[in-house]
Amino acid sequence: MYQEINSSVFSLPKALLKLGNYSRGESDDLIQQGKVTVNQKVVKETNTRVNLITDVIKVDGHTVEHKDKVYIMLNKPSGVITTASDDIRRETVYDYLKDDRMPWVVPVGKLDKASEGLIFLTNDYKWAEKLAAAEPKLEKTYHMKINLVPDEEMIEKMKTGVKTDSGEVISFKEVKINKAADKFSWVEFVIIEGKDKQIRRLLSALNLNAFRLIKAAIGPVRIGELQKGRYRRLNEVEMEALKDLISS
């Protein structure tokens, strides 16, 4: 039996609704008529729970797939994880997508728990795969609040490369100070590669502490005025810009 902490798990009627093919009433009728199978077994109980990631749902022998494709940007708060479920009940991105009309979507790319900012979600898995494949050549823009104001020498090190404890050399493509105070600064930088915890390893090598780390843009798509914890659909201009990058 599935637990409620798994955000990819729904009752069978709600799963059919999430997939965008049937209304709640139509789903109930199809299930009760024995026309719905889950993993090749007929299911007639409407309270049956299914997992949209792992279970295969069919109606009249045909696999139910997403009818309408959606492409979403979310401003992920710090402390929120991007997985569909969590054994210790931490907040996930799905806690910010609580809308019965929202189809089931998956995150594209990574954004660690401590970081915040822009992340894409979609139910178009082919698009997600293409975007993930293009990720190594996509510029990602970050804003970070650190515990000092870097001088020109430190900025140059960030650009030319810093050797970490493991011997790996990590660098940022562009670095500039957006705001400076006595004991902290806001720094904007651009990276292309998306290695695991790449940014935090570079900061550690420079003995810097990041109070906040915000992903502000992925390629040409910027988070703009989207408030923390809110989401919206990508517009046509943003989709076309990403399409050009994916196909190039």
- CB-based contact 88:77 (threshold 8 Å): no
- CB-based contact 111:92 (threshold 8 Å): no
What pLDDT does 37 receive? Answer: 96
Please indicate whether the domains covering 71-134+225-247 and 139-218 agree at the CATH topology level.
no
Q: What is the mean pLDDT of each run of 10 residues along the chain (248 residues)?
A: 53 86 88 95 95 89 85 96 79 85 82 94 86 85 95 94 87 93 93 77 89 94 96 95 83
What pLDDT does 196 receive? Answer: 62
Among 7, 16, 6, 14, CA closest to 36: 16
Which residue has tokens 């299914």? 50
DSSP 98-131: --TTSPP-EEES---TT-EEEEEEES-HHHHHHH
Helix (H) or strand (E) holding 232: strand 231-233
Please calculate the CA angle 99-43-125 and round it to the nearest 5 degrees.
45
Instruction: Just give the CATH number of 9-63.
Output: 3.10.290.10
What pLDDT does 67 receive? Answer: 74
What pLDDT does 52 receive? Answer: 81
CATH topology (fold) of 139-218: Pseudouridine synthase (3.30.2350)
The secondary structure of residue 206, as a DSSP letter, is T
Task: Kindly list the domain boundaries of the chain, sorted by start residue.
Answer: 9-63, 71-134+225-247, 139-218
What pLDDT does 248 receive? Answer: 64
What pLDDT does 11 receive? Answer: 92
Q: How is residue 149 written in tokens?
A: 């104001």
What pLDDT does 197 receive? Answer: 77
CA–CA gap between residue 231 and residue 228 (Å, rounded): 8
CA–CA gap between residue 51 and residue 122 (Å, rounded): 17
- CB-based contact 98:230 (threshold 8 Å): no
* Three-state DSSP state, 248: coil
CATH topology (fold) of 71-134+225-247: Alpha-Beta Plaits (3.30.70)
